Structure 1
């Protein structure tokens, strides 16, 4: 549980810094366009690609921090055991099948892109679009890893061993 959540914590903290890069690149593109009447297509690709990479890479981190969308009208006031049960059922019914769909449909898509060394569809755009498409699979993997960590936490809580759940992974403590 610690290791799986730790992976998402590290990836999330690293890739969150892409937000700064996105702002800087986007600002540069705007200044080039409006102040100098010029633009670089590859830079326009860059901030869109950075955005895609960031949001797919930090999805597991958002799940770890409980920053995802949920109907809190039932979940928030629930007991610890009920939350654990809801999380376990949610992972098994929704997250695991969703990750399987991402993998089964995404893998051929990403493999094809790598075979072709796919580049930007924009003339003058960036090479290496296949790398960005690989983030689709990374997204599914990180979500699945966090789902497995959630199941482990739920098993401990339902088994009456919430004392074994690390402090930073307890309900309401995932936020930094």
Structure 2
């Protein structure tokens, strides 16, 4: 039994050593892979070449791409820990990106309401089966098409405004423990959450969503298990086959857009996880005086101040 336990322990150490070696090897290769991709953009950006499309599909969800992003994150983190202003600049940039995108696409909610009103008005008052928008060559579709398109506006708000809502502190959170701990403990919880919940969740959604998206855009359908060599071979028969099937005969037929939005959501959540980790670290190091530093939050202006003054 002791010998079996010893072998088991040795196997565990060996597997751990092998795993660490694999990780550091990929971190080292990340510099080469990034340099090669930048020096040879025609290999993956020239979409007139079918092989370039397949290379783009492969590397977008590959281990190589993950370690390029991971290595960049490590470098920026190390530099930012030595120079806090650099880290604050990254925080402001990423939060500004989330705010800009969120504030723009939040108007999709208003557009959704207006379009729903127009649909009801056209259908009930004028008894028209279709609607037409635009100048010159208008977009004329069945009313059911515009009714189902409302899902797209809702998806835009959900996917592209999620990080904006996070910056603004609008997400619901259950503070069973968090609200009762000290300031620095809160920052440790925030850092842990961003590293071990937000980032892994975003990576998993990206990895599954990336190939899910491309399987509805091209044929032969790529798979996450395909090697680069196999995908290049498949490129000989490649053709675009964009999903245009609606749930109803005359319904909305641009459902491939939802797959693209899923990828955008995963990417934005991952970027904001970095921003949230950096902000939490900086506030932990610099103390309570730096809480919400450079935070660009929306307000209702004088109306909000008046409301707070009366309560």
TM-score when scaled to structure 2?
A: 0.51
SS in 2 for 1:113: coil
Are the structure 2 counterparts of residues 65 and 120 from structure 1 closer, same or farther at C-alpha, using a change threshold of 3 Å? farther
- Is 1:155 aligned to residue 281 of structure 2? yes
2:115 matched to which residue of 1? 25
Deviation at 1:5, TM superposition (A): 0.6
Greater radius of gyration (CA) = 2
Tell me how many residue pairs correspond in the alignment: 173
Deviation at 1:174, TM superposition (A): 4.0
Query: Is the 8 Å Cα contact of residues 80 and 157 (structure 1) preserved in structure 2?
Result: no
1: distance between equivalents of 2:201 and 2:181? 25
Are the structure 2 counterparts of residues 162 and 149 from structure 1 closer, same or farther at C-alpha, using a change threshold of 3 Å? farther
1: distance between equivalents of 2:155 and 2:292? 31
Higher fraction of helix: 1
SS in 2 for 1:76: helix
Q: 2:125 aligns with which of 5, 28, 35?
A: 35
- Is 1:69 aligned to residue 182 of structure 2? no
- Is 1:15 aligned to residue 91 of structure 2? no
Query: Is the 8 Å Cα contact of residues 15 and 58 (structure 1) preserved in structure 2?
Result: yes
Query: Is the 8 Å Cα contact of residues 2 and 166 (structure 1) preserved in structure 2?
Result: no
Deviation at 1:8, TM superposition (A): 0.3
1:141 matched to which residue of 2? 267
2: distance between equivalents of 1:28 and 1:66? 33
- Is 1:91 aligned to residue 181 of structure 2? no
2:258 matched to which residue of 1? 132
For the aligned residue pairs, the C-alpha RMSD in angstroms reads: 2.2
SS in 2 for 1:159: helix
2: distance between equivalents of 1:30 and 1:175? 33
Are the structure 2 counterparts of residues 120 and 37 from structure 1 closer, same or farther at C-alpha, using a change threshold of 3 Å? farther
Q: How does 1:49-64 map to 2 (within 5 A)?
A: 49-64=152-167
Deviation at 1:175, TM superposition (A): 4.8
2:92 matched to which residue of 1? 2
Query: Is the 8 Å Cα contact of residues 188 and 280 (structure 2) preserved in structure 1?
Result: yes
2: distance between equivalents of 1:163 and 1:67? 22
Runs of 4+ displaced beyond 6 Å: none
Residue ranges of structure 2 left out of the alignment (5+ in a row):
1-90, 130-142, 219-240, 300-311
Are the structure 2 counterparts of residues 7 and 162 from structure 1 closer, same or farther at C-alpha, using a change threshold of 3 Å? farther
Query: Is the 8 Å Cα contact of residues 92 and 294 (structure 2) preserved in structure 1?
Result: no
Query: Is the 8 Å Cα contact of residues 8 and 61 (structure 1) preserved in structure 2?
Result: yes
Residue ranges of structure 1 left out of the alignment (5+ in a row):
none
Deviation at 1:135, TM superposition (A): 0.4
Query: Is the 8 Å Cα contact of residues 198 and 270 (structure 2) preserved in structure 1?
Result: yes
Q: Which has the higher contact order (CA 8 A, sep 6+)?
A: 1
